[in-house]
Amino acid sequence: MMELEKLRILGEASQYDLCNYVSLNKENFTSKNLPGIYQARTSSGCQVPLFKVLMSNHCTNDCNYCINHCYNSFHRVEFTPEELISLFLHYYQNHFAEGLFLSSGMPGDADVAMEKMIEVARKLRLEYEYQGYIHLKIIPGSSYDMIKRAMSLADRVSVNMESATSSGFGELTSTKDYHNDVLRRMKWIGRLKKRHPQMAPSGQSTQLIVGANEETDQDILKRAEWLCKHLNINLSYLSPFEPLKDTPLKNHDKPADNRTPRLYQAQFLLNSYGFSPDELVFDDDGFLILEDDPKMLWAKSHPDLFPVEVNEAGFKELIRVPGIGKISARKIIEARRKGIKFTKYDDLKKLGVVVKRAEPFIQLDRAHQTTLQF
Ligand code: SF4
Q: Predicted ipTM?
A: 0.99
The C-alpha atoms of residue 50 and residue 41 are separated, in whole angstroms, by 10
Separation of CA 10 and ligand 1 centre (Å):
13
Domains of the chain: 3-207 (3.20.20.70), 302-363 (1.10.150.320)
Mutational test site, ligand 1, from 61, 142, 174, max ligand atoms within 8 Å of CB:
61
Cβ(10) to ligand 1 under 6 A?
no
Separation of CA 139 and ligand 1 centre (Å):
9
pLDDT of residue 13: 73
pLDDT at residue 40 is higher than 90: no
Mean pLDDT of 127-142: 97
Cβ(209) to ligand 1 under 6 A?
no
The C-alpha atoms of residue 189 and residue 150 are separated, in whole angstroms, by 10
E strand intervals along the chain: 37-41, 47-54, 99-103, 133-137, 156-158, 204-205, 207-210, 237-240, 308-309, 362-363
pLDDT at residue 84 is higher than 50: yes
| Ligand 1 atom nearest to CA at 162 | 3
| Ligand 1 atom nearest to CA at 105 | 5
Cβ(104) to ligand 1 under 6 A?
no
Q: Write the pLDDT tens digit of every residue in 313-342.
A: 999 999 999 999 999 999 999 999 999 999
For 50, the 3-state DSSP assignment is strand
Cβ(240) to ligand 1 under 6 A?
no
pLDDT of residue 30: 46
| Ligand 1 atom nearest to CA at 54 | 5
pLDDT at residue 365 is higher than 90: no
With bands split at pLDDT 50, 70 and 90, how would you rate the model's confidence at 207?
Answer: very high
Q: Write the pLDDT tens digit of every residue in 278-296.
A: 999 999 999 999 999 999 9
Q: Which of 25-29, 54-58, 108-112 is predicted with the least confidence, judged by mean pLDDT?
A: 25-29
Cis peptide bond N-terminal to 360, omega within 30: no
Cβ(68) to ligand 1 under 6 A?
yes
With bands split at pLDDT 50, 70 and 90, how would you rate the model's confidence at 44?
Answer: low
Q: Which of 17-26, 30-39, 322-331 is predicted with the least confidence, judged by mean pLDDT?
A: 17-26
pLDDT at residue 82 is higher than 70: yes
